[in-house]
């Protein structure tokens, strides 16, 4: 199959962006870091060359705007995020921005203007790695960022407000609740993203349309016991915070496994004081709970809290249970989704609809406009892992589908 050069360019650009990392041997690009500034500068240059005006907003999102054929027209939003998880792959986020950019590049090359403007959005933080708070970029754009998050600190004690300032932004709490657009100025938001799961590969399909984005809870759970001497405190008299946390981690796995469709993950653990000859006094861990059905997610979360309390009571340890973020399941809009399906069908591919277990910026954008998502097959369904891989052939299909989607919208 012949592949257009613009799909090759997308792949090359994902490689280039992956070279901007905070760590020498692996890809980690957190919010408001030098690595983020480097990718922003790089993407900004590509956007300019594609005929867009470009702006970096007050928390570091990039907005590339390709003007409409006439003044006063509405705006269609495309895009994804440029931050990554720790030790990330190259495609989660950047692929969606690069495909959207390539789509505009194709229009610009033909000097084609549409009856609406296109804004390519490159969000500064979707993963929430630095402040354990997801969707910062899209929340800022939609005016839904809670000013309280400005006081959150990263592992070095730097507040979010300080990070934004040192990135050249302005963390003015009074502006946080002003959306970038009015609802009636927008036509919708469409994001291309790797599937991050194995379904498309199993069905031998390059792309699929997303039905809904699963809801999720992010929590911080703390176990406070009593630090003590590892050589002198008998086992029966200990209140070891790590033993309580370990028991909880295993019960998360068991409980989630017993509720069909529930996924629950403990991905971060800190142990204090953290010495080999000191009984752990305090453990703080992250908990991520997801399900398509909001009621099931809430039930799972409640049951996990009950389990944690039982474990703590038995062990004489006290529990801290803090819900950091809660997002409901968000359905994709039937009208926009139908256009993606039409584009896929015109290209002769079978249609496959699938839900997204991963979170995406569309969750936040949906507060302001209709959303749609196109998934691209990835190898072995692997993501949040440096082994993330997509083929240029599949990227070519995704780019053609997105371009066709945009053109279908304009007729």
Out of ligand GLV, Mn ion, none, what residue 188 binds, judged by CB under 5 to 8 A for its kind, is none
When the beta carbons of 128 and 169 are compared against Mn ion, the nearer one is 128
Give me the least distance between CB of 359 and Mn ion, in Å please: 8
| Concatenated DSSP letters of 331-381 | EPPHHHHHHHHHHHHHTTPPP-EEEESS--THHHHTTTS-EEEEEE--GGG
Instruction: Examine residue 92 and tell whether it contacts Mn ion (CB under 5 A).
Output: yes
Encoded tokens for 336:
């926009």
CA distance 382 to 286: 22
Length of the chain: 411
When the beta carbons of 318 and 325 are compared against ligand GLV, the nearer one is 325
Window 340-359: contact mask with ligand GLV (x via CB under 6 A): ------------------xx
The answer to whether 187 and 410 are in contact (CB under 8 A) is no
Window 118-137: contact mask with ligand GLV (x via CB under 6 A): ---------x----------
When the beta carbons of 127 and 341 are compared against ligand GLV, the nearer one is 127
When the beta carbons of 216 and 224 are compared against ligand GLV, the nearer one is 216
Out of ligand GLV, Mn ion, none, what residue 93 binds, judged by CB under 5 to 8 A for its kind, is Mn ion
Count other C-beta atoms under 10 Å from residue 371's C-beta: 27
Window 168-207: contact mask with ligand GLV (x via CB under 6 A): ----------------------------------------
When the beta carbons of 99 and 242 are compared against Mn ion, the nearer one is 99
Using CA of residue 339, residue 342, residue 347, residue 349, what is the dihedral sign? positive
The torsion angle over the Cα atoms of residues 338, 344, 349 and 352, rounded to 10 degrees, is -40
Give me the least distance between CB of 100 and Mn ion, in Å please: 14
The answer to whether 317 and 225 are in contact (CB under 8 A) is yes
Measured in whole angstroms, how far is the alpha carbon of residue 256 from the centre of its chain? Answer: 22
When the beta carbons of 127 and 394 are compared against ligand GLV, the nearer one is 127
Give me the least distance between CB of 133 and ligand GLV, in Å please: 11
Interface residue list for ligand GLV (CB under 6 A): 127, 358-359
């Amino acid at each position: 199959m012949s592949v257009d050069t613009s799909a090759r360019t997308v792949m090359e650009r994902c490689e280039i962006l992956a070279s901007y990392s905070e760590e020498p041997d692996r890809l980690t690009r957190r919010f408001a870091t030098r690595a983020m500034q480097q990718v922003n500068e790089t993407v900004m240059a590509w956007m300019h060359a594609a005929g867009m005006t470009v702006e970096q907003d007050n928390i570091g999102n990039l907005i590339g705007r390709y003007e409409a054929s006439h003044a006063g027209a509405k705006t269609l939003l495309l895009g994804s995020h440029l931050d990554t998880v720790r030790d990330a792959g190259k495609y989660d986020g950047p692929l969606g921005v690069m495909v959207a950019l390539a789509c505009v590049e194709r229009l610009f090359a033909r000097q084609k203007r549409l009856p609406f403007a296109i804004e390519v959005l490159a969000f500064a933080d979707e993963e929430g790695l630095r402040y354990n708070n997801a969707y910062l970029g899209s929340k800022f754009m939609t005016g839904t960022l809670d000013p309280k998050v400005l006081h959150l600190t990263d592992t070095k004690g730097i507040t979010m407000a300080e990070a934004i300032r040192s990135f050249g932004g302005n963390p003015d709490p009074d502006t946080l609740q002003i959306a970038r657009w009015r609802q009636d100025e927008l036509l919708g938001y469409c994001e291309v993203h790797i599937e991050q799961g194995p379904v498309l590969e199993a069905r031998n399909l390059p792309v699929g349309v997303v039905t809904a984005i699963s809801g999720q809870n992010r929590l911080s759970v703390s176990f406070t016991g009593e630090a003590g001497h590892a050589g002198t405190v008998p086992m029966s008299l200990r209140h070891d915070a790590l033993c309580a946390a370990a028991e909880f981690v295993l019960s998360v796995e068991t409980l989630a496994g017993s509720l069909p469709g529930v996924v629950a993950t403990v991905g971060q653990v800190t142990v204090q004081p953290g010495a080999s000859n000191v009984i752990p006094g305090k453990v703080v861990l992250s908990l991520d709970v997801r399900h398509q059905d909001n009621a099931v997610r809430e039930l799972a979360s409640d049951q996990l809290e009950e389990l944690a309390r039982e474990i703590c009571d038995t062990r004489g340890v006290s529990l801290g249970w803090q819900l950091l973020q809660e997002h409901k399941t968000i359905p994709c809009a039937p009208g926009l989704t139908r256009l993606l399906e039409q584009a896929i069908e015109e290209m002769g591919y079978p249609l496959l609809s699938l839900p997204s277990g991963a979170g995406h910026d569309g969750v936040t954008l949906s507060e302001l406009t209709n959303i749609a998502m196109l998934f691209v097959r990835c190898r072995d369904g692997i993501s949040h892992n440096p082994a993330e891989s997509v083929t240029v052939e599949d990227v070519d299909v995704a780019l053609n589908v997105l371009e066709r989607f945009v053109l279908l919208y304009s007729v």
